[in-house]
């Protein structure tokens, strides 16, 4: 039996690192998709040490750059024919509005559009797996979210809650439409709320500002550890209990009913088309 292969985005810290370590412990070959080579290498050493596995590797991928995502996907496909698990974990919350290298507002750009493109570029190796699984880390913040079609990149009236909630609703809508489009394949797609986790999500990607603040927040008693926060993602990635489940939203390893606005098919389809246009999806890459 060949070793199963998993990709975890944002694998250099927090839930991404915890997910990497646990998947490696379970015998997966794990590719850590990280933006920073320095932080990625440090996390790789930690993951190898904690997991006891030698089957973990680092591949650079900046989800804030369409060019970087395309390079990563091409490099992966040149080296591997199959992909069993894709955990779209990376996420940001920006206190002030910032843009990706492609001019996207970072919340929607990294949390959704980057993962949207990455996932679609990896569909073929996922199809080639015995049972490919896509796991999207969303958040209960989707409940406060709205897709601001009139200003999706929040050029006017930006605030971090508005940005984050929109991007987490985007994760849910993406999950539902993708599951429908892949209904005739062996690939499942699910999303989850990890709970309130003390991670580095509020840290500025460029300056590191907020690192000490988030470290203190993570020590508060009502925050989950990254290991606890990662449990539902690991469950969706590995458990035989959800082998045939797709298009669902989970919390604490249990299927949850979505709020009405997240079930709006017309909004989800419109948003999918908008996403295709934003990442300049090529005809052969569309589902």
Write out the catalytic residue numbers. 164
Q: What are the residues facing 100 on neighbouring strands?
A: none
Q: Which two tokens stand for residue 229?
A: 């926060």
Q: What's the token pair of residue 92?
A: 């940001």
Phi-psi sector, 53: left (phi>0), alpha (psi -120 to 50), beta = beta
Q: What letter does residue 56 receive in the DSSP assignment?
A: E
Distance CA 250, CA 232 (A): 7
Residues 149, 48: Cα–Cα separation, whole Å:
43
In the structure encoding, which two tokens stand for residue 239, read together? 């458990």
C-alpha distances out from residue 180 to 67, 161, 193, 256, Å: 28, 29, 21, 18
């Amino acid at each position: 039996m060949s070793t199963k292969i998993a990709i975890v985005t944002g694998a250099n810290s927090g839930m991404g690192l915890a997910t990497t370590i646990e998947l490696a412990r379970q015998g997966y070959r794990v590719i850590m998709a990280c933006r920073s080579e320095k932080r990625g290498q440090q996390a790789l050493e930690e993951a190898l040490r904690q997991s006891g596995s030698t089957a973990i590797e680092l591949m650079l991928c900046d989800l804030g750059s369409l060019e970087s995502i395309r390079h990563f996907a091409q490099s992966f496909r040149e080296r591997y024919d199959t992909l069993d698990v894709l955990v779209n974990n990376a996420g940001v919350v920006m206190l002030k509005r910032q843009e990706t290298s492609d001019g996207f507002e970072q919340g929607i750009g990294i949390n959704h559009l980057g993962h949207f493109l990455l996932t679609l570029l990896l569909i073929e190796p996922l199809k080639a797996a015995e049972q490919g699984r896509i796991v999207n880390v969303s958040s209960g913040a989707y409940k406060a979210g709205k897709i601001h079609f009139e200003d999706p990149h929040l050029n006017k009236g930006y605030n971090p809650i508005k940005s984050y909630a929109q991007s987490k609703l985007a994760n849910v809508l993406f999950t539902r439409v993708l599951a429908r489009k892949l209904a005739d394949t062996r690939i499942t797609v699910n999303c989850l709320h990890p709970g309130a986790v003390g991670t580095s999500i509020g840290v500025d990607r460029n300056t590191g500002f907020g690192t000490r603040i988030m470290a203190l927040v993570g020590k508060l008693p009502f925050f989950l550890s990254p290991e606890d926060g990662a449990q539902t993602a690991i469950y969706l990635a590995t458990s035989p209990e959800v082998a045939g489940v797709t298009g669902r939203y989970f919390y604490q390893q249990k299927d949850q009913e979505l709020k009405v606005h997240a079930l709006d098919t017309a909004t989800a389809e419109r948003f999918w088309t908008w996403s295709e246009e934003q990442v300049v999806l090529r005809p052969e890459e569309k589902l």
